[in-house]
A and B are shown apart, each in its own frame.
Chain A
Amino acid sequence: MTTELTVLALAALLQAVQFVLMAVPANIELAPGETLSPRDRDKLGGDLVDKLSPRTARLYRALSNHFEALILFTIAVLVVTLGDQSSTLTRACAWVYLAARVLYVPAYAFGWVPWRSLIWFVGFGATFLMLLAALV
């Protein structure tokens, strides 16, 4: 297994951790009748997410953001691995991506401005570099 694939597995586990971090407080804050319902806006009086506390809503947004980032990162890892383009650069990029995405969670939850955006950009740049490296 290449380093990039190992990091990909760890990134997927991070997603599971992020899910739990969001789901536990969300289920404490929302009534079961709300979460189990079909979540129709007219019945709830708005979006279900709007009923969360600010911090839980941030964890929810951090989770959604990682879904997007993870999809791109998965592609970068697969393209690098299947194309036999793994190098020191792509391995370093993979670790940088993971470190950035781990830091992104507290950065969002505790409102580290503007660090959250910078951390996001580091993860994004690492993915972009991996894709470019696979094509060169």
Chain B
Amino acid sequence: MTEITILALYGLLVILTLILQATGGLTQLGMGYLLGSRDEGRTVSGIAGRLERALNNSVTAMVLFAPAVLLIHVTESSTNETLLAAQAFLIARIVYLPSYAFGIVGLRSLAWTVGIVATVTLYLLAL
């Protein structure tokens, strides 16, 4: 498994998050609203709202993580440490999703922190 494979797996995790978020929106807002132009800004609440915020956060994390992986790959600076950091990122983000959806206070923030620290570590190792 390389960092690039982990990036592909993370992309699929974000897609899964998106599907869950869309399902939440579907149950609360209805198909008619979703298919329409959404001119009235309806909002979701509860678990659907959490999934929406989790998706936004996952996209932000992806924007930071993807360049780090690219740097490592293009500069051919992959080591056991960079691989470990990428794996830590993926595991943290897998934990992040249910901990946000089910509102596990503390665990979500911990998972987020591990993810961001792993990303920063990747950048530092790339340098």
Q: What B residues does A131 contact at CB under 8 A?
A: 8, 11-12, 15
Q: Is the CB of B11 within 8 A of A75?
A: yes
| A135 and B39 in contact, given A78-B70, A117-B34 (Cβ under 8 angstroms) | no
Q: How far is the CB of A131 from chain B (nearest CB, A)?
A: 5
Chain A residue with Cβ nearest B37:
A111
Q: Give 20 A-B contacts (CB < 8 Å), ordered by A residue.
A: A54-B37, A54-B39, A68-B59, A72-B14, A74-B66, A75-B8, A75-B10, A78-B4, A78-B7, A79-B8, A79-B11, A82-B70, A83-B5, A111-B36, A113-B37, A114-B35, A117-B35, A131-B15, A132-B12, A135-B9
Q: What A residues does B53 contact at CB under 8 A?
A: none
Q: Is the CB of B37 within 8 A of A58?
A: yes
The A/B interface has a contact count, at CB < 8 Å, of 68
Q: What B residues does A108 contact at CB under 8 A?
A: 37
Q: How far is the CB of B63 from chain A (nearest CB, A)?
A: 6
Q: In the complex, which residues 48-106 of chain B have their Cβ closer than 8 Å to any Cβ of chain A?
A: 59, 62-63, 66, 70, 73-74
